[in-house]
A and B are shown apart, each in its own frame.
Chain A
Amino acid sequence: MADVNITVDGKKVTAPAGTLLIEACKSVGIEVPSFCYYPNLSLQGACRMCLVKVEKMPKLQTACTTVISEGMIAITDSDEVRQARKGMVELLLGNHPLDCPVCDAGGECELQDMTFSYGAAESKYMEPKNHKEEQQWSPVVYFDRPRCILCYRCVRVCGEGMDVWALGVQNRGVGSIIAPNKEDHLECEECGMCIDICPVGALTSGAYRYKTRPWEMNHVGTTCAHCADGCKTTLGVRRSETGMEIVRGDNRDKSGINGDFLCIKGRYAFDFANREDRFVQPLIRKDGQLAPSTWEEAFELIGKRFKEAREQHGGQAIGVVGSNRTTNEENYLLQKFARVVLQTNNIDHHRTADFPAFAAALRGKPESTASMRDVFNAPAILLIGNDPTEQHPLMAWQIRNNVRLHRAKLYVVNSRDIKLRRQATGFLRIPKGAEGRFAAFLNGDDSVAENLRPVAGTGADAGESRATTQTTPAGFRDQLRSEQNLIIIFGAEIRGGDIASVVKFGSGIAGAKFLYLADYANSRGAADMGLYPDLLPGYHPIADSGKFHQEWGGVPQTPGLTLPEMVDSARSGKLKALYVVGTNPVGRFDIDPFVFSQSFVVVQDMFLTETASLADVVLPAANAYEKSGTFTNTCGDLQLVKKAAEVSGSKSDFEMIVRIADAMGADVHKLVPFGRGTAADMGQSRGAQSGEADRHSVWLEAHGLEPKMSPFDPMAILDEIQRLVPGYEVSRMNLLAGNDQRTSLVGRASGAAQNPELIAPANDHLFSSGTLGRYSRTLNSVMENHDQQPAEF
């Protein structure tokens, strides 16, 4: 759009036509205060804080609703304007309870800030304030009416942003009140966006309220540990008896790929860390019972038994199972440890999507994966399978708001009436399980078209007739072909060769990009880092291990066992040792626990899960909020994980792997290339309780100058990852400064269709999150969590 020139407080400002005056002012550093104005939400003009003088207008104008026009002259700082602002604050404070000393928002309150900026310290009123009792709307949402200033941000973010529409306004005049959808309580997605966006302390969080004063917390920006979307979250931590406790999760500075957004899991479900049934001491099975031991005893035993297994039976007698929720550094280290120290390729993880096939299909197109940011800006999106609202809340937010704000076209192909259908330009219902057939159809196989019609009278909404664009598959495909810069997002229903069909179809569309949906925080990272029996990091086939072979001094040359094969091997007594890091295969895959009675089983976890409880040694692990490293989200956005909390007694998986290698007598220097640098830094120092990124250390680290004197420093292995794993050559400086960095998916795997039957989508919903979700009281407390059966054990 053409630029428009205006003058604000004597400053020349140029901004695109259509810009709001308040934004134009902001662009040159002139702050116009507001409560109700919020970027990307509809305009209200209700709080009247942004009143400014616009020349030729008799009255003061609201800068939030005034669109700039050529030659406009505005004054944002004059006696008249200042008095108007002061007057508004005075009126707000009149009925405000001024209970700042106990208010959660005290110190982080926009009303406090405005009062500080514009005065209104003198009380002009003598009458009693209007009062209403505080209400609990859900286990996580509380509403304190007297503090509410009626800016309607919560109403809009719930409706416009979340498409939930659970909040509204009742009554009128001074009796106006924000009301929940179920009269006295809320039934919604419990995302807490209303709390986050509240400029005052009217909406407060059940998890956080009355726990602390904001200035008593440290704030650590890290990445959410739950789904594969990779929201940035700022954890507020406080010193506790056992270390550092997380008391709050939010995206405080609105930075990162998620901007404003967090869902219930990111905002509240950090509470698993403080469960009383979390074990914080190594346990060794003695006389059939798991009994507490010392770390030394545990490592010594593990080292001895692993070494025996390797020396007496060879590496093929040892199995390793990695996690979707450990960092890239840990995953990389784990598979390197397996291949180099245990001398086995028997390594696998819970595969929630078929990334090897995806990488293979994208061969030669390393830049054609879409980032989370792209999803907000693409002109058109095709979504096949999955239900992002439940499984990928941020993805759903990005899609929904792209449609709302940019008029993007959304095409949905699903067997169910998923919520995003409301935003869809086109919706094609296909029979359950027909996603693969649809992929073939997209790629021109018309013979399957007949099989894409849903069977009449089936499905969740059988009998319901809704008049929407119910096109034929062929018409739908034609419409897609006419799009440009289409992002094709698909769930794990599509795997193996079907992925190639989707990619082939997309290749016929100019600028098309692809996005594959996996389930957990580092599912993509686990795949990228090579937690596969037949693939090395970066999807290098074992047979093509040249670089790694050289670097690591030897890689076993035959592909190892998959997880089910390891189980079979254990059943036949061949698997002598099993090393399980941060995962629960026995529970998840319903494995007969007696299978492992002849194997020496070591489990690193927080809780005595089905797997941990049958182990010979259980090591208390730190979770993703208690360690440092990186996560790769399902889109391939690489983000920093920073240590925020600490529970004394636990160790990071990284440290435990190194300690086990050491106990086996392995050369730790070869495993973790530490020791470069100038000064000693014993222990894992990075990020711990140091608050937001320390710019000095960011610079040092980015230039490879920081000590890395400890073998427990994940940064040491990040060097190796960046050097050896294709697609991970990102800017260290940007990454360490807390920005998301794009990795590229460099397709190398030749066998595209290797074991697609091993893909087991977790099918978590908004209120479940695998094992972690099972241990989150908050997730289990909300009434919307109807699913009595946790999705994963």
Chain B
Amino acid sequence: MADLVSHPDEVRVVSRRFGMGATNLDRYLELDGYKAVQKALGMGTDGIVNEVKNSGLRGRGGAGFSTGMKWSFVPKQASKPKYVLCNGDESEPGTCKDRLIFEHDPHAVIEGVVIAGLAVGSHTGYIYVRGEYRYLLDIMQKAIADAYVRGFLGKNIFGSGYDFDVYWHGGAGAYEVGEESALMESLEGKRGIPRIRPPFPAVVGLWGGPTVINNAETLASVPHIILGGAEWYASLGPPKNGGTRLFCLSGHLKRPGVYELPMGYNLRKMIFEVGGGIPDGRALKAVVPGGSSTPVLKSDEIDIAMDFDSVAKSGSMLGSGGVVVLDETTCMVKFALRTMKFYQHESCGWCIPCREGTDWLKKTLIRFHAGGGVNKDIDNMYYLSENMLGRTFCPLGDAAAMPTMAFIKKFRKEFEDHLDGKPCPFEKAGVVESVLA
């Protein structure tokens, strides 16, 4: 378990109970636990949906879609049961925030799931936890069991007459399953491949029923919105980007860790003040602002507000909040290769461009980094990425193509330095580390 970090600029909402023993249900109740769901029980479906809509809460999984809006798409009347899904398949490299929520505040997730259920008229929720988070599944299991014992889950929750069941489910180790429809396939016991949309999950989702699926951080934010009110939450961030966000600072930083900062917090400040800056006096080279799938920003591009709209304007994405900081000693070709190895490994293989494209990019980058590159490789890699971008079945192909294009566009010189049989200039003594693994 990771040590917790803190910084005075933090605004603690989702992370309020981190490190306070809230996995213990009694402790959680002392810390205002399960108050939100009791309040929500009296708000009515529209009341909850409007409150969340007005809070400006946007999906913390990466796409940034308005949560309240998503909930409002679920039909009121349905012939099949409705479901609430918590997407805890956190797998984006550079992202480790849901992990802390499950570890320190599992009941907040449960509470969020129940409130979402109340909002859409569902009686069943599933919490899907990433397969590699096996130890967190134990925590989650216990939390659910405890909640059942107290009557917070199951029949007639809090004596309200409303029934709500929550089940946990562990993944089998696939990044792709973080995609909402692939997650539903996985949950149904099938191969984790995405579904054709439309129909969207809100109409036809898990087992064909209308389904709300939200990221764990999103759901964990909901109880705080219900208790604190939409206005308060919205005011924490800039317009249309309500609330706070767990930013996962990693890479070449003095104080890496997960910090909860208001939406719109300046990226440069985040790196140099919150994260403590680059160690050993080295210079900043680049920042990946929102997980490995987001286009890289050069050191002179980081004076931006970290909210969905501002980062998009800068040509990248806020994504899942995984800020990866790279200093001047980093070889961008190697970084591109490391990124591509991940996507090649995680491509589900369903559609041609992603399956074949990631593999060829990986193969080319391995050779290229080792000094076997030829000039046309650079353009070929860019061309290949262009052919994947926007043409794959699901966003995984984009996630592989976008950063690659950014690496080539913004650091072309570094690629060119690898040409003509020259070994990687960043490797010590000219020995290129084997990257075949």
Chain A positions near chain B (C-beta within 8 angstroms):
43-48, 51, 58-60, 65, 83-84, 87-88, 90-92, 94-95, 124-127, 130, 149-150, 169, 171-176
Contacts and interface: CB of A to CB of B under 8 A. Distances in A.
Contact of B360 (A91, A150, A173): A91
Contact of A173 (B345, B353, B367): B345
A58 B353 CA distance: 18
Contact of A60 (B174, B196, B390): B390
Interface string B337-378: 000000011111111110111111001100100000010010
A43 B360 CA distance: 27
B242 to A, nearest CB: 26
Contacts of A46: 350-352, 393
A84 B176 CA distance: 23
B96 interface: no
B353 A172 contact: no
Contacts of B391: 48, 51, 59-60, 84, 87-88
Contacts of B207: none
Given A87-B386, A91-B352, 15 more contacts: A45-B393, A48-B391, A48-B392, A48-B393, A58-B390, A59-B390, A88-B391, A94-B360, A124-B383, A127-B360, A150-B352, A172-B349, A173-B344, A173-B347, A176-B355
A60 B364 CA distance: 27
A48 B352 contact: yes
Interface centre among A59, A60, A91, A176 (most CB of B within 10 A): A91
A58 B389 CA distance: 12
B330 interface: no
B344 to A, nearest CB: 7
A58 B398 CA distance: 14
A173 B353 CA distance: 11
A65 B352 contact: no
Interface in B368-407: 374, 377, 380, 383-384, 386-387, 390-393
Contacts, number: 101
A150 B349 contact: yes
B364 A127 contact: yes
B353 A88 contact: yes
11 contacts: A44-B196, A44-B350, A46-B351, A48-B351, A48-B353, A59-B390, A60-B390, A60-B391, A95-B356, A173-B349, A174-B359
A127 B356 CA distance: 13
B198 to A, nearest CB: 8
Contacts of A91: 352-353, 356-357, 360, 384, 387
Contact of B355 (A44, A124, A125, A174): A174
Nearest to A171: B349
Nearest to A92: B352
A174 B354 CA distance: 9
Most-contacted residue by chain B among A44, A87, A174 (CB, 10 A): A174
Nearest to A35: B352
A172 B387 contact: no
Contacts of B387: 83-84, 87-88, 90-91
B11 to A, nearest CB: 35
A18 B192 CA distance: 28
Interface in B179-230: 191-192, 196
- Give 10 closest A-B pairs by Cβ, nearest first: A87-B387, A176-B349, A91-B356, A127-B363, A174-B359, A173-B347, A59-B390, A173-B349, A46-B351, A124-B380
Interface string B94-120: 000000000000000000000000000
A403 to B, nearest CB: 19
Contacts of B356: 91-92, 94-95, 174
Interface residues of B, number: 35
Contacts of B384: 91, 124
Contacts of A45: 196, 351, 393
A169 B355 contact: no
Contacts of A95: 356, 359
A46 B390 CA distance: 14
A60 to B, nearest CB: 6
Residue with the greatest number of chain A CB neighbours at <10 A, chosen from B364, B367, B387: B387
A173 B174 CA distance: 11
A769 to B, nearest CB: 38
Q: Interface of chain A, helix or strand or loop or mixed? A: loop
Nearest to A175: B349
A95 to B, nearest CB: 6
Contacts of B360: 91, 94, 125, 127
A173 B392 contact: no
Contacts of A90: 387
Contacts of B358: 173-174
A662 B358 CA distance: 76
Given A95-B356, A169-B191, A127 B367 contact: yes
A174 B347 contact: yes
A626 to B, nearest CB: 45
Contact of B352 (A47, A58, A83, A169): A47
B363 A125 contact: yes
A665 to B, nearest CB: 72
Contacts of B380: 124-125
B355 A173 contact: yes
Interface string B264-299: 000000000000000000000000000000000000
A742 B386 CA distance: 55
A125 B357 CA distance: 11
A130 B359 contact: yes
Contacts of B352: 46-48, 88, 91-92, 149-150
Contacts of B196: 43-45, 65
B380 to A, nearest CB: 5
A450 B6 CA distance: 81
A172 B348 contact: yes
Contacts of A83: 387
B174 A172 contact: yes
B117 to A, nearest CB: 31
B353 A150 contact: no
Contacts of B347: 172-174
Contacts of B393: 45-46, 48
A64 B353 CA distance: 17
B374 to A, nearest CB: 8
Nearest to A45: B196
A87 B356 CA distance: 11
| Residue of B174, B348, B391 ringed by the most chain A CB atoms within 10 A | B391
Contacts of A43: 196
Contact of A174 (B191, B349, B353, B374): B349
Nearest to B350: A46
A31 B355 CA distance: 26
A48 B342 CA distance: 23
Contacts of A124: 380, 383-384
A174 B344 contact: yes
Contacts of A126: 364, 367, 374, 377
Contacts of B176: 172
Contacts of A65: 196
Nearest to A49: B352
A60 B344 CA distance: 23
Contacts of B367: 126-127
B260 to A, nearest CB: 33
A126 B375 CA distance: 13
Nearest to A168: B191
B348 A87 contact: no
A90 B380 CA distance: 12
A169 B190 CA distance: 11
Contacts of B345: 173
Contacts of A169: 191, 349
Listed residue (A65, A150, A173) with the most chain B CB atoms within 10 angstroms of its CB = A173
Contacts of A94: 356, 360
B199 to A, nearest CB: 11
Contacts of A127: 360, 363-364, 367
B97 to A, nearest CB: 26
A48 B174 CA distance: 23
B354 to A, nearest CB: 8
